[in-house]
Amino acid sequence: MDTSNESSTIDFILLGFSDWPQLEGIISGAVFISYLVTLVGNTTIIVVSNLDSHLHTPMYFFLSNLSFVDLCYTTSIIPQMLLNLWSPKKSITYGGCMFQSYFSLEMGATECLLLAVMAYDRYAAVCQPLHYTVIMHPQLCQKMVVTSWLGGLGAALILCSLTLQLPRCGNRDIDNFFCEITDLFKMACIYSKVIQSVFSALSVIFLLLPLSLILTSYGVITHAVMRIKSASRWRKIFNTCGSHLTVVTLFYGTLISVYLKPQKNNSTSQNEGKFITLFYTIITPGLNPLIYSLRNKDVKNAVKRMLCVGKLSEKS
């Protein structure tokens, strides 16, 4: 019997937060507000970074790509999530589930690599200031971004294509608020050592390896900063590096706790995992533009310049 053809004709049930029906209204409100903040904040960073000539630097080129990833990431999850929270029907089509699983995995893997690229950019800016423009030339920046996107694309294609081959034996319930790849593993009625091995290898490549590069970069940056006697330059470095390090801590901290923590097959662990997943998939993308804009004078000044130009054009 062809299980793939059978499974493609059924819907899946996203259980989400159905165990706490009294919290669904609060959660949906928080998610909706967070999504609006994500849309406005990340769109603003993309527009400002592209239109303001003062921000045509590698740092803001990478930041605008990160904002675009966050927009795609949340948009692949939140609309369906809100639909399920606002409706008694918690289903998602087979095609929609596969789209969510693939797209969220691709965006998550791409963001892991982009954050590592941004850490290297900060290392070059702080530790090699005289050669920064030579090191981080536009062609290299473009190649690094393209590599990040292709890396995420490759990881998602490999894992999703393998997961589609798993028989589910009629299982339809997904104990999460979106179709995460690990939940599709759990739905399978057989254990696949190949998929688990591939998943573990990709976790190392896209989580541990980039995080090691980030920590190494900031170790070198910290050593260099300790030798700086200028208080103003020290504060400038702290502002630019501090924003990125805050985003890295929020994103990697929650991601590692979900993907690399030993799995426990109990309801308490699963429920904790939902709220941790809620944080890095919904909350963090909305916090990223706030973190960068609130701690970065360049972004705030660019927004002010754009607003001033807009007001002048309206008066004229």
Q: Are 17 and 85 in contact (CB under 8 A)?
A: yes
Residue 136: per-residue pLDDT? 94
Residue 270: per-residue pLDDT? 66
DSSP codes, 93-124: EHHHHHHHHHHHHHHHHHHHHHHHHHHHHHHH
What backbone torsions phi and psi does residue 175 show, to the nearest 5 degrees? Answer: -80, 65
Report CA-CA distances (Å) from 85 to 30, 44, 69: 12, 28, 24
Nearest alpha-carbon partner for 115 in 47, 69, 182, 54:
69
Q: For residue 80, what are the domain limits?
A: 3-315
User: How many structural domains are present in the chain?
Assistant: 1
- Which CATH number does the domain housing residue 129 bear? 1.20.1070.10
Identify the residue whose tokens are 């805050």: 246
pLDDT at 1 over 50: no
Q: What is the mean pLDDT of the chain?
A: 84
240-266 confidence digits (pLDDT tens): 688 888 888 888 888 887 777 665 555
Residue 226: per-residue pLDDT? 78
Structure tokens at 210: 């980039």
Q: What is the mean pLDDT of residues 275-298?
A: 80
Q: What is the mean pLDDT of residues 186-207?
A: 86
Amino acid type, 212: S
Residue 265: per-residue pLDDT? 56
Local confidence band at 3 (pLDDT 50, 70, 90 cut-offs):
very low
Angle value at C-alpha 136, between 132 and 141, nearest 5 degrees: 160
Range 283-313 burial, b when 16+ CB lie within 10 A, else e: bbbbbbbebbbebbebbeebbeeeeeeeeee
Q: Of the ranges 28-37, 110-119, 190-199, which one carries the lowest mean pLDDT score?
A: 190-199
Q: What is the mean pLDDT of residues 261-283?
A: 72
